[in-house]
Amino acid sequence: MGRLTGKKAIITGAGSGIGRASALLFAREGASLVIMDRAEDAVDKTATLVRDEVKDANVTSVAGDAGNEDDVSALVAHCVEKLGGVDAVYANAGISGGMVPLPEQTADYWQEILRINLIGPFLAIKHVTPHMVKQGKGSIVCTASVAGLRANAGGLPYSASKAGVISLVQTSANALYGTGVRVNAICPGLIETGMTKPIFDGARARGSEDKIGQLNPTARYGHPEEIAHMALFLASDDASYVNGQAYAVDGGLSSTHPFAPSRRGA
């Protein structure tokens, strides 16, 4: 049996990258899925990939904005109506906002990043918890970032939004004290996704792809599937005693202060 057999799960930001990898993995592990992304064609393609790979997969794709309350409310209601409940939510949708110089940043620029990256996970928590509390259990997983732990891993509003996600899961876990509902976060390091495509394209154009990720002790960048496996663990009953935590999946990047990398052993 899969680790999510019989579970009903929602994944946002499922049109590519970490969200798509998670949808495929969750389905392989037995979950019935409702997946959402703003890019309708992309999330539909994810659903097709799931059906092609997993025999008898139960997956529904929905176009919607994870930072819009009406869309999130409808997403949760759709999952409950179609699947009969909701056991796990992976609030993964996010945007980077690019690297705009501080003097050029506007309040609108900040608000849009915060709306999707921080208010989005809050809305997922808000709308799913009544169903989970009623059944006495459930798992909510949010995508934060190593940029929310320390500086220099992303732009200012992006980093602030991800720090907010870390606080959100801690405070939400305590707000849901005794309900059986768990809330945790994943803090990815440098992962090759659509969001980080400019970094990888630039490095490949310069012929320096082998240097991507060299600042972490694993000495490489990560893959969406590696984040998906952490999401699977946190969504599953294997993590039944894990609550209010933020896990860095970053090759060890956040374990150190800045340093000059050495290729020598200890």
Q: What is the value of pTM for the model shown?
A: 0.93
pLDDT digits (tens, 9 = 90+) for 168-188: 999 999 999 999 999 999 999
Q: Is the pLDDT of residue 266 over 50?
A: no
Query: Any catalytic annotation for residue 158?
Result: yes
Q: Is the pLDDT of residue 264 over 60?
A: no
Q: Is the pLDDT of residue 197 over 70?
A: no
Q: Which of 92-96, 201-205, 233-237 has the lowest mean pLDDT?
A: 201-205
> Do 156 and 150 touch, CB atoms closer than 8 A?
no
pLDDT digits (tens, 9 = 90+) for 29-58: 999 999 999 999 999 999 999 999 999 999
Catalytic residue among 90, 109, 158, 177: 158
Question: All domains of the chain, ordered by start, with CATH?
Answer: 8-192+222-249 (3.40.50.720)
pLDDT digits (tens, 9 = 90+) for 11-29: 999 999 999 999 999 999 9
